[in-house]
Structures are given as C-alpha cells and as structure tokens.
Amino acid sequence: MLDTVNITQTRSQVREGSVDNSLPLITIYEISKILGSTLNLEKSIHDVLNILSSYLQMRRGVVTLREDHGELEVIAVAGMSLRRAQEGEERFPLALAQQVIGTAMPVIIHSLADDAQFVRYAAGADVMEDEVQSLICVPLKTIGKPFGTLSIERHRDGTNSFQFEHDVRFLTMVANLIGQAVSLEHKVAADRERLILEKARLEKAIPRPETGKFAAAGLDNVIGHSDAMMKVSAQVRQVAPSRATVLLRGESGTGKELIAKAVHFLSPRADKPFVKVNCAALTETLLESELFGHEKGAFTGATSDRKGRFEMATGGTLFLDEIGEVSPQFQAKLLRVLQEGELERVGGNKTIKVDVRLIAATNKDLEDAVTRGEFRADLYFRINVVPIFLPALRERKEDVPLLARFFLDKFNEENGRGMRFSDGALEVMSCCKFPGNVRELENCVFRAATLAQNDVIQELGLSCHNDQCLSATLWTRRGAGKSIGGLAPVTEQDVPDTFSTAWDNAHSASARPGAARPSIPGPRYPAPSVPGPLSGSDNPVGEGGRYHDQGAAPGDLSGDLPGDFNDSGLSEKDRLLLAMEKAGWVQAKAGRLLGMTPRQIGYALKKYDIPLKRM
C-alpha cells in the first residue's frame, strides 16, 4: 500500500500538472497485489477503489457487474454506503453503466451538475463552491463483451481546464485487471460446482462388493440376509421406480442413509445427483440457506450467489436426515417447497422451480411429536407417503456375523492386518443386543481388533467379557419407558437381570453334563424373548426371556415369602417397604429376605416410586 507521504506528494503533483512517471506503475503494482491475494471479490475491489482515491483524488467510486440473471448490480463503492447504493438511495445512474457496457466505450461527464440524469447524484456529494464534479466510466471486460463498469468521480477547480485522456487510459488498465479477477472468481465457482457433480457421478460408478442376496436384489451397498432385511429390500425395489416421497423410520445406526442411497440408485434418477443434508447439524438460519441457497448480500458473509441443496439436487434425490429435529418455524417453509416444487433463495425474490425426489429419515416418534405440537401435521402427512421401517440389529441377529466380518475386513485393509474372529467370538457377539445397532457393532469390532494380542479375536477379548462395554451401561441407565439419542424406549422386558439368556444358551450347549455354567462378568444387554411353549420349569429363562430368581420376576413380590412377608393382607408395595425397613434400607439384604436379586429390588423401588432412605 502507498504510504501517506507519497500520497500527499502525489496529490500536490497532480494539482500542479507534474505527475511522477513512476506513480502509475506503483499504483498498478499495488492493485495487482490486492486482486491476486484473495478470491473475496467485493473486498479486493473495495481496496482497489481506496487506492484510486489516493492516486486520482477520487471522491466517489462505483463498480458494477452484470449478474447471471442479466441485471446490473453495484458490488463495491468508495466514498458512500454500499447498502444505500445497492438500494438506489445514493441515486447512482445505472443507465450510464448500461450505456458503457452496450457500447464498450468509456464515457466522460465533464460537469455532473449540468447533466439532467446526474443532478440528484451530484447533490449527494460534498462539493466546494468553486469545484466542478466530473465522472469517468470505463467498461470491465476480458476478451469478450463487457460485463461491468468502473466509474470514479473527480472534483476540479472550475477556473482550470482538466485533461482526462491520461485518467481514461489509466482507468482502462485498472478495469482490465478487475475484469481478470472477476473472470477468475467465476471460473473457480464453476469448477467447484463441476467437481461436486463429478464426485457424485464417480461415487455412483465405483463398484460395490457383492453381499449375497442383496446384490441380486439391487441393494449391493447393504449387508445382510435376514428375513427382516429382505422385507426392506422388497419394499425398496417396489418404491424406487416411482416419484413417491419415502420416509425411513428406525433407531439410530440402523443404516437409513444406505437405504436412501439404494432407493436413489435403483430409481430412474440414478444418473442425477444424490444430495444429503443432516437437519440436526444446522441451526434454523443456516439450514434455510443450505437448503434454499442465498443471494449475494443477503447476510454478513454472503459474498456471492449460492445455490441451495434443492437446486443442486434438481433431477435427482434429496435426502433429509433427522427431519424430526427441524424447528416448527422452518417446517412451514419446507412444506411449501415440497408442496409447490418452487422456492426463493434467502434474500432473493425470484421464484425457482425445482424437481427433486425427497427421502426423509428420522429416529423420532413423529406421531407423538405431532400430538405434542412439535411437528406440523400437514408436513407429517406430506412426507409420510411411503414409510419404510428399518429393523434394529437385535431383530436380525443372523446378520451380526456377516457384519462383524465385513467390519473386520475393513479394519484389516485400513491397518494392514490379517485378523479373523473365532467361532466363539462370533457366537458371543450374536448374543448381544447392540442398542447402538450397526454403528455400535462397528465400534465393537474395531475396539476388539485394536486390543487383540494376536491375529485371532477370541471371546475373552471382547469388551463385554472384561466389564468394559459402556454401551451396555448406557442401556441399563436409561430407565423403563425412556427413549434418548435415537435409541428405542426401554420396556419392562428389556430391563436386564443377571446374564443374557442367549449368552448362557450359547455356552450351555458346550458345557459338560453336571458342570456349572461359566461365570462371565460384566454388564449385559437385555435377553431376547424366547419363542415357543416353554414355561415355568420347562423354560430356563422364564416368561419374557428373563431369568426367574427364586421364583420371582423383577418387581414381582407374589412368590412364597418368609415370615412376616407372607401376610396375604399386605400389598406388594407394603411387602417391599417392610423388607426394606427390616434390612435397614440395604437393597441386598432386602433382596435376600424377599428371595430377589438387588437389581430386582432396585427395579421394584422404581416401579412403586419409593425413595431410598439413608440410615
């Protein structure tokens, strides 16, 4: 940047008519440095105008550009307010700029006060009584037609004539530099959009590994061969060819995004973009800009027009993940776009038509959200056209070994290893509930592979065997009836007791006759319900797939009880209170009196909402 001393000297030299020959070169050098240092076009052009105000004693400067829609807009000013100039309050005559663009020739207005179209613009300047306002406007162009203008306002002594030829030549050189910068910025924006489309095309062209039945069904990006997933496959193949909106329902980690991609790749829109947005990751303001796009100047930082995800997905598919997290205020805006197929960018007033196929996903209970007024009923009916429910991993246990091997192969490829699972390890993993579903299984595999001492992962190397499975702790701490973080609500049958039934069954087959079952410490997931007619002593796990401890299920105090607790006049709650009083409010002692485990006592206390006393 030119220093203050040089600028002051330059102004004096210009007034005297003796301009330093080196000054134009220095100014051009400074301008080229500014334009080449950043792609922030508005800021760099504003800095250029500031340099011109020092060299040419420019009072006011304006740069205009013709946008894609053909209208001429003010993008940078000096000596005035940009907002006021863009809104027309500064009364800069855009007709002059249109004339310069149309003729591709500079225009000089020797006296603004004497020109009818400039009178109102001239009145807004700070002018001395003996000064004359002049204006020079030159076109911005590279090789083709002009696409903008650079204009500066000069004030001169009315008693002296002034030669503008030198200024016109100099401003033409500056305009060419600005034109090159504008052209470069447009090319970078176009390349970015082209790369996004190319990335989407390449993602669809990448071959995917065969995964058994799903490969034949057209869902080769999904792993599994259980009946539950084959039903999902059939639904996907049936709905994919249509334009119907799809709503994917399921717990967190069940693979909703993979199913959304499968719907897209099996549809006639497969060669068009698949665009995804996580609605829960953005605030309402950012989500509106991300989905609908924004116009330049719509808010701070909006330095150029930007297409939204709806426009980017035109002709293809838009996947809105976690749609249940959208605020009620934004739901109304989203509903209009989905209903009418048209939108307006943030800060714009031009209606844009879009053609997208919508796939939404959520782990929330939308029906409950509609009942509580948290989700608009009209939006619910708009997106709930074809619902597809994805099963939790605990509902398709036969897929666990296949998934576990897939994730282990992925780990081996990323880390250059050759690990494998033992049959016992896969059997144990098949017994787990995995409340975090496939995402939790992947973490479990990576953790076991990372901590394994050799190339074979044994059952003793799993976290659940070493009392380090924190996911199981999360499951047990949620409490009955609660649903958090995309996990399913806990039912009474899901509350864990001692060991997982499936775990014990997996080991009982290999146990010697008469031998005790192996003691496997650590938190366990709730045991699954065991189908069939077994009951009582014929069913080792009892009703609901839970172990009966001393003949009592969790919270059930109706069995044969010792001593004072066998009084038929006592309710279950009274028996529990009496046992807790006799045990000094120690749950383990009360459990022994009632023939129950401490965990069953704890559940019964929660069931009857009995607060614990500290003795």
* Strand duo 148-157 + 131-140: pairing: antiparallel
Which helix (DSSP H) or strand (DSSP E) does residue 359 occupy? Answer: strand 357-362
Confidence of residue 578 (pLDDT cuts 50, 70, 90): confident
Indicate the burial class of 188 (C-beta count within 10 angstroms; 0-12, 13-18, 19 or more): exposed
- Cβ(601)–Cβ(591) below 8 Å: yes
Handedness of CA 186, 188, 194, 196 (dihedral sign): negative
pLDDT at 532: 35
Residue 246 CB-half CA count within 13 A: 30
DSSP letter (8 states) at residue 391: P
Name 320's bridge partners: 277, 360
- Answer for the pair 404, 426: CB distance below 8 angstroms, yes or no: yes
Burial of 372 (0-12, 13-18, 19+ CB in 10 A): exposed
Which pLDDT band, with edges at 50, 70 and 90, does 253 fall under? Answer: confident
Banded pLDDT at 551 (limits 50, 70, 90): very low
Could you read off the pLDDT of 329-339 as tens digits, one per residue? 888 888 888 88
Percent of the chain exceeding pLDDT 70 equals 73
| Burial of residue 299, with CB atoms counted within 10 A of its CB: 0-12 exposed, 13-18 middle, 19 or more buried | exposed
Q: Answer yes or no: is pLDDT of 568 > 50.
A: yes
Cα 71 from chain centroid (whole Å): 34
pLDDT at 60: 84
Please give the pLDDT value at position 317. 93
Q: Looking at the DSSP assignment, which residues form a beta bridge with residue 351?
A: 344
pLDDT at 522: 36
Reported confidence tier of residue 111, pLDDT bands at 50, 70, 90: confident
**Considering the chain, what percentage of its residues have pLDDT values greater than 90?**
11
Q: Predicted confidence band at 386 (pLDDT cuts at 50, 70, 90)?
A: very high
0.85 surpassed by pTM: no
DSSP 97: H
Distance CA 4, CA 503 (A): 82
Q: Report DSSP letters for 477-537, one per residue.
A: HS-BT---TTPPPBPGGGS--SS-HHHHHHHHTTSPTTPPPP---S--PPPPP--SS--GG
The predicted pLDDT at position 550 comes to: 38
Count of helices and strands (H, E) across the chain: 23, 16
One-letter amino acid identity for 295?
E
Average pLDDT, the chain: 75
- If one counts every other C-beta atom within 10 angstroms of the C-beta of residue 401, the result is 16
Using 50, 70 and 90 to split pLDDT, how confident is the model at 260?
A: very high
Collapsing DSSP to helix, strand or coil, 427 comes out as helix
Computed on alpha carbons and rounded to an integer, the radius of gyration of the chain in Å comes to 37
Question: What pLDDT was estimated at residue 29?
Answer: 85
Which domains, and CATH codes, for the chain? 4-186 (3.30.450.40), 229-391 (3.40.50.300), 394-543 (1.10.8.60), 549-607 (1.10.10)
pLDDT band of residue 548 (cuts 50, 70, 90) is very low
The pLDDT value recorded for residue 504 is: 43
Span 35-93, pLDDT tens digits? 887 777 888 888 888 888 877 667 788 899 887 667 888 888 888 888 888 887 777 88
Tell me the mean pLDDT in the region 547-567: 46
The CA angle 458-460-463, to the nearest 5 degrees, is 105
Whether 536 shows a pLDDT value over 50: the answer reads no
361 token code pair: 């996903």
- What the block records as the tokens of 220 is 């080769």
Burial class (CB in 10 A: 0-12, 13-18, 19+), 124: middle
- The pairing of beta strand 351-353 with beta strand 342-344: antiparallel
Question: Quick one: which of 366, 262, 278 has its CA closest to 317?
Answer: 262
Q: Where is 134: in which H helix or E strand? A: strand 131-140
Would you place residue 289 in the very low, low, confident or very high pLDDT band (cuts 50, 70, 90)? confident
The answer to whether residue 358 scores a pLDDT higher than 90 is yes
Phi and psi, residue 131, nearest 5°: -95, 150
